[in-house]
Structure formats: C-alpha cells, structure tokens
Amino acid sequence: MRVAFQGEPGAFSEEAIWRYWQRWMRQDLVSVQPGASGGVEVRPLPCATVEEVFRAVQEGGAELGVVPVENSYAGSINETSDFLRSFPLYVRGEVILPVRHCLLALPGQRLEEIRRVYSHPQALAQCSDFIRRHALEAVAAADTAGSARFIREQGLAGAGAIAGGRAAEIYGLEILAGGIEDRPDNQTRFFVIGREPLRFAGPAKTTLIMGTAHRPGALYTCLGAFARRGINLTRLESRPSRARPWEYIFYVDCEGHVDDPVLAEALAELGQLTTYLKVLGSFPPDR
C-alpha cells in the first residue's frame, strides 16, 4: 500500500504516516483495498512537493497521501488548503504529530561553528527564537529531511539543518541541539487524502469549503446553520478565492459525520445559502 508524502525519508510527514498506521490505517485498509488486512505492507512514497502528493493519489500512483495542514503556532500551510480545493480528492483522516526539531550537522562540528541553517520555512518559523539567539542565517529549503541530506551530500561545514532526530540517523549527521522549537507543545496537523471518502461509524469530524455572497451578514447567516443546531466548529479560516480580488472562501472543520441527520440538515441548508460548497469528508478525530 503506497502512501505519498512530501519530502525525503526521515521527514515529519513520513513520521505522520507511521503514526496514522499505528492508530487508524489498519481499519482504513478495508475501504482502500477491498479484502485487505492489517498484514498489508505500507510503503511511503517520497514526493518533491505537496502538489506531487495530490497528483500521485489522484492518478493512482499512491492509494493515500499525507499532507500537512496546520501547525499549532506557525499556522496553516496555504498550499495544502489550495490543493484541497482544486483536486477531486477526499479527506480520510487526520494525524496530530508532536514536532521536536533538532539542529543537525556534519560529524565533528560544534554548535558555535554553525553560521547558516537550512530547513523548510515552517520549521524555520517554529525555531525562530533559537535561530535568532545563535545569530544563524536561515535558508529556506523544500523540506526538513532534504536539508539534512543536502548538508551530508555537499559536505557543508559551518552549516546545519533543522530536522527530526531520525534524519540524523538516516543521513549520518550529529545532533548538536535537540528540542530547539520555540514551544515545547509544538504540533503539526496532517490530513490523510484519498480518492474515495472514508466509510466508518463513530465520533467524527467533517471538513468543508464554502463561499459566501459578497453582502453584509452573509458569513453570519451561513454560520447560523451550525449554531442553531448546536454543531461545534473546530476550525474556521479564510483564503483568497482566486476568482476575483478581495473575494474569499472559508475552510470549516466541525464535529459530526456527514451522515448524521443534524449535520446533514445543516449542510443541506448551506447548499442554499452559499455560492460554493465542497464537503471534503468525515474522519475520526485524532484526539
């Protein structure tokens, strides 16, 4: 079973695959591959970009994909939000992963010798205090583990990579400092995407995208469809619609399953109130 992720082996997205496997994927196998069992081998499929993850799933190169959605302190990953809208795929699950960043460097390097640090922009943002405190030049790269591989392959002295501890083992680097994230409760939320919606019973979250009319009270009226029925929203975020300047769409996560009568009734009402509505799927909450 191929599961696509953005980055190199050792990336946090790959770690999210294993976390999802341990908690949910054994049950997910039945709906992804009829007749499959928990003995199916999971094969992470590295992709250069988040867009490639979406394409791999859409075109059948992978059964599932794992993509980062938001970080508890650095905020949302906008490109993931945009691809969720543009690709005809479903959200089948979520993974909330504690993120512990490390400063990695070539063997024999000392922390005071490091002048430049490479990593994904999100990781750099999550470690901004450490970077500033040590007067490091931050260089944005495609991903965390890829930065570690780059340091090793180029033999870059005086440079480090911010990545997970597993990347140090994979690429033969040393950990000069661990737990360098600004907040010890730093977490990243990932979505598991697939070509079909997940069928399951039990507690659920549902995620959707909606557009509202450009008039006073339009968003308020749409949110009332949830409020009047006592449906709790766990996320509400706006993104440019890309249709016209200064026009926005909204990403909504709420508690409940699309097949629950109360939520189904709310979605039916939203269908009459919104200018655009895309239900991405229901899935078991990670916590």
Residues classed as catalytic: 188, 190
Pair of tokens at residue 49: 């970009």
How do 116-119 and 159-163 pair as beta strands?
parallel
Q: How far, CA to CA in Å, does 106 sit from each of 12, 128, 159, 162, 178?
A: 21, 22, 8, 13, 15
Coil, strand, or helix at residue 44? strand
Rg (C-alpha) for the chain, rounded Å, is 21
Pair of tokens at residue 66: 């794992």
Distance between CA atoms of 97 and 94, rounded to whole angstroms?
10
Q: What is the DSSP letter of 242?
A: S
Coil, strand, or helix at residue 147? helix
Pair of tokens at residue 97: 């992963």
Q: Which of 115, 154, 147 is nearest to 134 (CA)?
A: 115
Q: Which H or E run contains 6?
A: strand 2-6
**AA letter at 23:** R
Contact 212, 256 (CB under 8 A): no
